Amino acid sequence: MKENSGRRGRVLTLCWLLLCWTLAANASASTAPDPLPSWADGPAKTAVTGFVQRVTSPGSKDFVPVPERIAVFDHDGTLWAEQPIYPQMVFAIQRVRTLAPRFPGWRHKQPFRAAIEGDLSSLARSGSSALMQLTMATHAGMTTEQFDRIASDWMVSARHPRFRRPYTDLVYQPMLELLAHLRTHGFKTWIVSGGGADFIRVWAERVYGIPPEQVIGSTLKTKFEISGNRSALIHLPEIDFIDNHAGKPVAIQRTIGRRPILAFGNSDGDLPMLQWITTGPGPRFAALIHHTDARREWAYDRESPVGQLDLALREALRRGWLVVDMRQDWKRLFPFDH
């Protein structure tokens, strides 16, 4: 009798455990949160989640080991808004104005004059060489630590002209979700930007969860100086590296040393990076963010002086890369949208 009741007890316990386990498993299956809630259900979302599933499922023929799960993202226009003018250019313009009293010659010299006069459209049209000139004049001659402080202070106080919010509010919520989804699946996420690495690093960890050592960008030369117990790295007014166009695969190889398997970009400057990513062996995923949403943001591509997308779009269509239609594929754009 006693033995019987003991056996019955054990069976009951086993049943109870099985029941709990079944309920828990069901609950997690039916209520597993959507990892990309800001992406509209449809082919774009399915393509990216399907790829992540394929390369991370043990036993899948496309399985990729964790160390090879390298994902790279352009920055301006891919992770945050880049219109009406690159935010780093706004920062440089502000620095030109702050420094102008010390450099009276700037009033008569482009692109400094346009910066002082706030002529943004002429600056946007003047392209990357103007940005370079302003960058060198305003980022050089200081230590890396001084630069970090100035950029960090600016980011706190500056407001986007249309949205009247800090620039770091204008990051794309769907991309924040994608970055997190990839990291949850063992990917290392990297920024590969034509903009300045130092500028992005100041806040990339806080905003994107991407540490400084996973930010690749354009750089000025720096010089090491030591005197007694103090040392510094000083920004020189000389280009070290422009991380755009063919510079992107070059910088990826130099810094990461292996070919990423996933890349997102939004402009012709990203084309060589996407070509490099997609022509390697094994499973590969390339995508372009197509800015099609004039209401919530901006609609631009072929003719835009900022973030021009022409050749890369043609190549994406020819090669079957994902083209994210911002208006259709993203339900929510910015974290502050509801």
Interface with a second copy, residue 65, by CB under 8 A: no
Q: How far is the CB of 201 from a second copy (least distance, A)?
A: 5
Among 62, 119, 169, 205, binds a second copy (CB under 8 A): 205
Rounded Cα distance between 323 and 169, Å, is 24
**Spatial CB neighbours of 237, under 8 Å, sequence gap ≥ 6:** 136, 137, 140, 141, 220
Interface with a second copy, residue 2, by CB under 8 A: yes
With H, G, I as helix, E, B as strand and everything else as coil, classify residue 128: helix
Interface with a second copy, residue 149, by CB under 8 A: no
Written as one string, the DSSP assignment of 53-114 is HHHHSTT-TT---GGG-EEEE--BTTTB---SS-HHHHHHHHHHHHHGGG-GGGGGSTTHHH
Q: Which residues within the stretch 258-287 sit at the binding site for a second copy (CB under 8 A)?
A: 258, 272, 275-276, 279
Interface with a second copy, residue 3, by CB under 8 A: no
**Which listed range, 43-51, 74-82, 150-158, 256-264, lies at the site for a second copy (CB under 8 A)?**
256-264
Q: Which is nearer to a second copy, 99 or 142 (CB)?
A: 142
Answer yes or no: are the C-beta atoms of 136 and 220 closer than 8 Å: yes
Interface with a second copy, residue 98, by CB under 8 A: no
Answer yes or no: are the C-beta atoms of 77 and 298 closer than 8 Å: no
Interface with a second copy, residue 47, by CB under 8 A: no
In the complex, which residues of this chain contact a second copy (CB under 8 A)? 2, 67, 70, 144, 188, 197-198, 201, 205, 211-213, 215, 219, 222-224, 226, 229-231, 233, 240, 246, 249-250, 253-258, 272, 275-276, 279
